[in-house]
Structure 1
Amino acid sequence: MVIEHNVKKTDTVLAETGKTDFIAVLPDCPDEYEQFAASELCWIFSLAVGVKPEVVSEKDLTAKTRRIFLGKTEALKKLGEKPTFEEFSYDGYKIRTEGEDVYIYGLQRGTYFGVYEFCKIHFGYRYYAKTEIKIDKADKYYFHSISVFEKPDIDARSLGFWSTYKLEVTGNFEHACRMKLGRNLHTDWILSAHTYFQILPKEKYFAEHPDWYSPAGNNLCLTNEEMTAAFIESLKKIISETKGNYLMMGQEDNFEFCDCPRCRAKIAETGSPSAVMMRFSNKVAREIKAWLKETDPDRPLTLVTFAYNATNKPPVKTDENGKYVPACDGVVVEDNLAVMIVPFSCVYSKAYNDKKYNPAVADTFEGWSAVTKNMHVWTYCCNFDNYMINFNNWSMMKKNYSILRDYGVSFIFDQGSHNSPTPCFEELRQFLQAGFMWNLEQDEEQLTDEFFDEYYKDIAPHMKNYWQMFRVRWDFIESEYGEGARTGAGDSSCWNLAQFWPKEFLSCCMNVLNEARAKLELLRVKEWDKYLLLRPRLLKDSLSVRFILLNVYGNDYGSELSRMVQKFKDDCKACGILVFNEGDFMGVC
C-alpha cells in the first residue's frame, strides 16, 4: 500500500562504476534489522557499481559527508521522527531526504524493506528469484530527492515454500527478505500453533490440579478460574523472558473441547465452544495488556487464539436482517488479540467468499468478522498429496488476498511445498504471492508478464504458453469432473488420472518445451552465460509434465521405462527436488 511516493531526480551523483561518496550510518547499538539493512544496501551497491559504501556508527561520524541513515538513529530523532507500531506496523517504512542526506527507517523489517525501495528508485533494482536480480545498467546513477511512505496490505506475510520457509538453509533467509517476507510461520512468535500445554504443562500441573484440564486430559478447562489465573501468570513469565511480536494461545491438536459439567453449561448458555474460548481469551488479553502497560508500555505484542476444530465455528448468531452479530456478551475480540483461522476444505480455485463452492469458508470469515477486525489466517497453496502437478489457484491469488485484507487479516501464512522445491512454476508463484500480499493494487497481468520476460528471457513465450496450457486444462477438469484446487489429504485425489491428462495434451506440452529447448540451443554459441542460466530453469519446469507421463502412461514405454525413470530421478536431483509429496509416499510410477 503506497501512502506517499514523491521522487525527483537531481544532478548529484549517488554512485558510479567503482565509486560512491555516500556512506551508510547505523545507530550506535543497531538491532538485527538495521544491521541487515546495511548489509543489503552494500550488496546492491556492489551489484550496481562494484563498490560498497562505507558503513559507520553514528558515534564514529567525523565530518559532514553524504549520508544514508538506516533505522532509528539519533539524527532521525532530531528530525522529530520516531517510528511507532500504530503508524508503521511491523513492516512499513519511510524514506526521506534532507538535502543530500537520506533517512530510511521503520519499526522492524521496514528498515531493510525501505533499502530495497531506495535501490529500486536509484538502480532499477528488482528481485525476481534467487538467480534473477535486475539492475539497470548505467555509468552513473543520480541521487533522487525522496518522500516515500509504504506499508504492506497484509502486515505480516509468510509463504510456506522450501526457499521461504526453511530459513536455516543457506541463502533462504536472504531470499525471503528480498521477497519482502522475511519470516516463516515461527519467526516473531514467542509461542506458535498448539500451546496450551506449553503454557501449563501437564507433567508439571496435572497431578496436583487435574481439574485444570478436560476430563479426557486432551485440553484445558477454560471455565476454571484457578487455571485461568495460573495461565495468566505463566504467560507473564514467558513474555518477560522471550522476544517476539506474537504469542499463540492455541488449543491442543485434537477435536476435543472440555466437557466437564461447567463447560457444558457455558456452551449451552453462550451457544458454542468458541464463545467459551473467546471469553477466556479476552480475559487473558485484558490482563496481559494491563500488565504490559505497567511493565513494558512500548512493546508491541499481539496475543492470538485459534479458531480450530471444535472452535472453528464463530461465536455469532444472525439478527432479523440475516446479519451476523455477536452471540453473547464477552466474545467481541480485544484489540490486543487476534483470531487465527484455517479455511478447512476450501476449493482454492474459487473465491473464499464464494457461497456456492466455499459456503463453510465464507460463513467462517463472515462470522468471525462480526466479532473481530484482526484475523490471522493459515491457508494453503498446494496439493500436499502431489507436489508435482500445478495447483490451479492462479486466478484467485490476488482476489483471495484482497478478500482477506478486507476482512481485517493482518497475518497470513500461506503453506505450500515446505519440504521440497517443486517443478510447478514455483518462482513465479512466490513472486506473485509475495507481491500481492505487499501491494494488492498491482496489475496481475502486468506483474506476470514482467516475471516471464525477466526470468525466462528468450524462452518466455514458450514457457508462458506451457503455463497457460495447464491452466486451461485445469479449468476443463474442474468444469467436467468437478475437481478444483484442493489440498489433498482426503479433499482430493493425487490427480494422476488418465481422464485428467490425455496423452495428446501431454504431447502438446512436450512439443512446446522442445521448442523452448531448440531456442536455447541457438544461445549456446552466442550467449553461453545466458544458456547456462536458462537451461536449468527449463529443465525444472519440464519435470511436471514428464512426471505425469511416467505415472499415467508408464506402461506404454515398455523396456524404455526404467531408463526414463532413472533419467527423471537424476534430473529431479539436479533441480533440488527432494520429495514428490508432503509425506514422501509417492513414487515416480
Structure 2
Amino acid sequence: MRGSRCTLILLVAAFSWSGSAWGQQPGRPTSTQLVLVENGRSPFQIVRADDAPERTLLAASELQAFLKQVTSVELPIVSDTVPMGQHEIVIGRNAHLDRLPATVDFASLGPQGFVIRTVGGHLVIAGGADLGNLYGVYTFLEDYVGCRWYTSEASRIPSRPALMIGQIDDTQVPAFAWRRTSYRDIASQGSPIAMRLKLNGGGDWGLWCHSFFSVVPPEEYFQTHPEYFSLVDGRRVRDKQLCLTNPDVIQLVIHRLREMTAKEPHLPYWSISQMDWAGNCECPNCRAADDREGTPMGSLLEFVNTIAAQFPDKIITTLAYQYSRKPPRTLKALPNVGIQLCTLELNRSQSFATDGRAESVSFREEIGRWAAISRIIVIWDYTIQFANLVSPFPNLRVLKPNLQHLASHRVMGVYSQANREIGGEFAELRGYLLAKLMWDPDQDASMVMDDFLDGYYGLAGRPIRRYIDRMHDALERSGADLKIFGGPTDHRNGYLAPELIVQYDRLFDEAERLAADDPTFAARVQVARMPLMYAKLRLNAGDVDSRLREADRLFEIAERQGLEMFNEWDLTTAKFKQEVYDKLRAEQAK
C-alpha cells in the first residue's frame, strides 16, 4: 500500500476520458521543478552503485531506455565512483545517495518497497533491496512519466520533447509480499511484463499444491504399503489421500522432501498438501486428531508441523481447502508453515467482506482465526468460471473490497487462479487490474479500469465500459449468486436476460464502429465481444439463422486468436464447434 505521497504533476501528457491527464503540456519550468530533458538535452545522469546487483542494473537500463523513448534523449548511466554531479537520478543505495540530505528508512521498505523523492537537483529512486529499486523505476515511469504496460504486447509510451517533474515524496510498500495470477500473459515470474506490473510470485515454489502423491506415489507404495493411504469406509483406498498419523508416512515424506530440496536449494516454498478431491483418512489415530480439533485440519496441520520442523530454512505450506478449510481449535502453525487458504465455495456477486451469505460469513470467521494461528497466509482466490472460460463473468467490482479485507488480516500473499488458456473474458483487463490492486488495494479501481480500457481499446473503450457497468448493475439488481462453476444459463433471467443482450449488442456495435479505423483496436474489440456471442449460443438467443451467423463469427475470431479451450478440462474449440454446428443444423432440418 502507498505511504506518503506528495507531488507536483509531471509536465507530460497521458490522457484519460474525463479530460484530466496524468500530466500537462510543457511550459516554463518553475523554481520547484527539475528539468530532466529540454531542447534535446539533459543535465542528468543515472547513478547506480559500482557493484550494483542484477535488478538494480536492470532498473538503470530500463529507466534509460524508456526515457529515451519518451524524450529521444539518452541519459548516461554511471557508477557511484565518478564525481557527484549537480543533477542526477540516483538508483538504490550508493555513495552518491549517502552524500545527499535524504534520510531513507530502508528497513521499513522491506525487499520490495521504495522511495521516490526529489532532493535539491537530484531525483532519488531507492528500494529497500534490489527488487525495490526496479519496482521504484517502473512506478516512476508509470506515475510520473505516463508510461503504461497493459500486456506483453500492448503499451503506451508518451512522446515529449520536454520532461519536467515537480517535487516528489512518494513511499510505497506492497500490501501483499507475494502476488501472482495465472492469466497466461503475465503468469511467468521474471518476465518483463510481470516485472513491470510488479507481480513476483510463481517460480519460487518447489511443490505448488496437491502434492501428497508427488512425495508418496500410490503406484509405488500402495501395493506393498496400503496402510500409507487413507482409510475410507473401513478400507484403505489408493486414490484418495495419505494416512497422516502413520509414522512411516511422516518419515518417508521427510526423506523425499530432503531429496527434492537438495536438488533445488534456492526455492523457499514447498507445499505438502492434499490431493484435489475428498477422502481424508478415517483411521482411529487420524480421526482422534480431527475430533480433538473439530476439523480434518487437525491431523493435517500436525502432520505438516512435524515435517516443517525438519526444514527450518524452508516454508512448508499446505492447503486449507474444501474439507480442510476450517481452522483447528488449539493447534498453531509453526513459524515456517504457510497456509494456502482457498475461496472455492464463495459467491462472487458480492465481496466476501460484506456478503451476508452463509459461506461468506464462515469465510470471514475462518480467516480471522487463521490469522491468529498462522504467520504466513497465502489466499488462493478464483477469477475463473471453470466450465465456461469464454463467458460473461461480472466480478470486477468485488476485487478491490476483497483484497482490502485480506490486507486487513495480515495476509502475506494472494494467488488469483485465472484462465490459464489463451483468451477468456477480459483476461487482459482482469490481469492488469489484479496486479495493480494486489500492490495497493486502496487505489481507485475505477480509474485504473478506465485507464486500461482507454489505452487498450482506444475510443472503443468507452462503450465497453458502459457494457461492463450495465452488466454488473444487472447482476446486483438480480441478487443472484455468481459461482465459479456456473454459466450463462444460471443468469438467463438476470444479467443475461434477452432485453439486456440486445443492449449489450448495441454497445459492442458502437465499439466496433469506433475501432474500425485501427486494425489493432478492432481485433481487440472483437475478442472482447466473444463472451457475449458465446452466451447467446448457450442461451439459444435468436433464431437458428442468426445463431449460425453468430457461430461463424465466434469461431473465426477464436481461430484468429488461437483460442484452444472453452472450459478448463476437455471442451476444445474443435469439439465445441462441432457441438454447436451439429445442434444448429439439426434445428434447421426440422
What's the TM-score once normalised by structure 2's chain length? 0.79
Change (3 A) 1:341 1:456: same
Aligned to 2:318, the other structure's residue is in SS state strand
Tell me the equivalent position of 1:439. Answer: 440
**CA contact under 8 A between 1:503 and 1:549: conserved in structure 2?**
no
Change (3 A) 1:207 1:11: same
| Pairs within 5 Å for 1:421-436 | 421-422=423-424, 424-436=425-437
Change (3 A) 1:31 1:211: farther
| Pairs within 5 Å for 1:158-307 | 158-165=180-187, 167=188, 173-183=191-201, 186-199=202-215, 214=230, 215-216=236-237, 219-225=241-247, 228=250, 231-232=253-254, 235=257, 238-239=260-261, 241-289=264-312, 292=313, 302-307=315-320
What amino acid does structure 1 have at the position aligned with 2:318?
A: T
Deviation, structure 1 residue 155: 2.1
Give the Cα–Cα distance (whole angstroms) in 2 for the partners of residues 520 and 254 of structure 1.
Answer: 46
**CA contact under 8 A between 1:267 and 1:276: conserved in structure 2?**
yes
Higher mean displacement: 456-465 or 129-138: 129-138
Deviation, structure 1 residue 436: 1.9
Tell me the equivalent position of 1:507. Answer: 502
Deviation, structure 1 residue 380: 0.7
**CA contact under 8 A between 1:122 and 1:141: conserved in structure 2?**
no
Aligned to 1:404, the other structure's residue is in SS state helix
Tell me the equivalent position of 1:495. Answer: 489
Change (3 A) 1:199 1:565: closer
Q: CA offsets per residue over residues 331-372 of structure 1, 9 Å max, x none?
A: 122333221111232111123253425244344434433423
Give the Cα–Cα distance (whole angstroms) in 1 for the partners of residues 265 and 104 of structure 2.
Answer: 28
| Pairs within 5 Å for 1:104-503 | 104-107=126-129, 109-130=131-152, 133-135=155-157, 137-142=159-164, 146-165=168-187, 167=188, 173-183=191-201, 186-199=202-215, 214=230, 215-216=236-237, 219-225=241-247, 228=250, 231-232=253-254, 235=257, 238-239=260-261, 241-289=264-312, 292=313, 302-315=315-328, 327-328=329-330, 331-353=331-353, 354-358=355-359, 359-422=361-424, 424-476=425-477, 478-479=478-479, 482=480, 484-488=481-485, 492-495=486-489, 499=493, 501-503=496-498
- From 521, 529, 543, give the equivalent of 1:534: 521
**CA contact under 8 A between 2:125 and 2:137: conserved in structure 1?**
no
Deviation, structure 1 residue 394: 2.3
Give the Cα–Cα distance (whole angstroms) in 2 for the partners of residues 578 and 421 of structure 1.
Answer: 9
Deviation, structure 1 residue 486: 0.7
Higher mean displacement: 567-576 or 23-32: 23-32
Give the Cα–Cα distance (whole angstroms) in 2 for the partners of residues 153 and 130 of structure 1.
Answer: 24
**CA contact under 8 A between 1:373 and 1:407: conserved in structure 2?**
no
Higher mean displacement: 394-403 or 350-359: 350-359
What amino acid does structure 1 have at the position aligned with 2:36?
A: L
Q: CA offsets per residue over residues 408-457 of structure 1, 9 Å max, x none?
A: 222111112111222x3333323332222221222334434444444444
Give the Cα–Cα distance (whole angstroms) in 2 for the partners of residues 209 and 76 of structure 1.
Answer: 63
**CA contact under 8 A between 1:10 and 1:142: conserved in structure 2?**
no
Deviation, structure 1 residue 308: 2.5
Percent identity for Structure 1 against Structure 2: 24
What's the TM-score once normalised by structure 1's chain length? 0.79
Change (3 A) 1:495 1:123: same
Aligned to 1:413, the other structure's residue is in SS state strand
What amino acid does structure 1 have at the position aligned with 2:556?
A: D
Change (3 A) 1:101 1:263: same
Unaligned stretches of 5+ residues in structure 2: 9-30, 231-235, 581-590
Give the Cα–Cα distance (whole angstroms) in 2 for the partners of residues 309 and 502 of structure 1.
Answer: 33
Higher mean displacement: 204-213 or 493-502: 204-213
What amino acid does structure 1 have at the position aligned with 2:560?
A: A
**CA contact under 8 A between 1:382 and 1:486: conserved in structure 2?**
no
**CA contact under 8 A between 1:274 and 1:307: conserved in structure 2?**
yes
**CA contact under 8 A between 2:44 and 2:89: conserved in structure 1?**
yes
Change (3 A) 1:548 1:208: closer
Deviation, structure 1 residue 42: 3.2
What amino acid does structure 1 have at the position aligned with 2:553?
A: K
Give the Cα–Cα distance (whole angstroms) in 2 for the partners of residues 35 and 532 of structure 1.
Answer: 37
Q: Does residue 49 of the first structure (1) align with residue 71 of the second (2)? A: yes
Change (3 A) 1:582 1:21: farther
What amino acid does structure 1 have at the position aligned with 2:412?
A: S
**CA contact under 8 A between 2:399 and 2:434: conserved in structure 1?**
yes
Deviation, structure 1 residue 248: 1.9
Change (3 A) 1:541 1:115: same
Deviation, structure 1 residue 101: 6.0
Give the Cα–Cα distance (whole angstroms) in 2 for the partners of residues 238 and 29 of structure 1.
Answer: 33
Change (3 A) 1:273 1:511: closer
Supply the RMSD in Å over aligned alpha carbons.
3.7
Higher mean displacement: 341-350 or 371-380: 371-380
What amino acid does structure 2 have at the position aligned with 1:94?
A: V
Give the Cα–Cα distance (whole angstroms) in 2 for the partners of residues 105 and 31 of structure 1.
Answer: 12
Give the Cα–Cα distance (whole angstroms) in 1 for the partners of residues 335 and 414 of structure 2.
Answer: 18
Change (3 A) 1:210 1:580: closer
Tell me the equivalent position of 1:95. Answer: 116
**CA contact under 8 A between 2:404 and 2:442: conserved in structure 1?**
no
Q: CA offsets per residue over residues 144-202 of structure 1, 9 Å max, x none?
A: 5654321122221112212222x39xxx932222222244xx32223211234445667
Deviation, structure 1 residue 70: 3.9
Tell me the equivalent position of 2:585. Answer: none
**CA contact under 8 A between 1:68 and 1:104: conserved in structure 2?**
no
**CA contact under 8 A between 1:378 and 1:412: conserved in structure 2?**
yes
**CA contact under 8 A between 1:91 and 1:156: conserved in structure 2?**
no
**CA contact under 8 A between 2:533 and 2:550: conserved in structure 1?**
no
Aligned to 1:535, the other structure's residue is in SS state helix
Alignment size in residue pairs: 539
- From 576, 580, 588, give the equivalent of 1:587: 576
Give the Cα–Cα distance (whole angstroms) in 1 for the partners of residues 358 and 282 of structure 2.
Answer: 33
Aligned to 2:311, the other structure's residue is in SS state helix
- From 549, 562, 571, give the equivalent of 2:536: 549
What amino acid does structure 2 have at the position aligned with 1:369?
A: A
What amino acid does structure 2 have at the position aligned with 1:574?
A: R
Give the Cα–Cα distance (whole angstroms) in 1 for the partners of residues 396 and 256 of structure 2.
Answer: 44
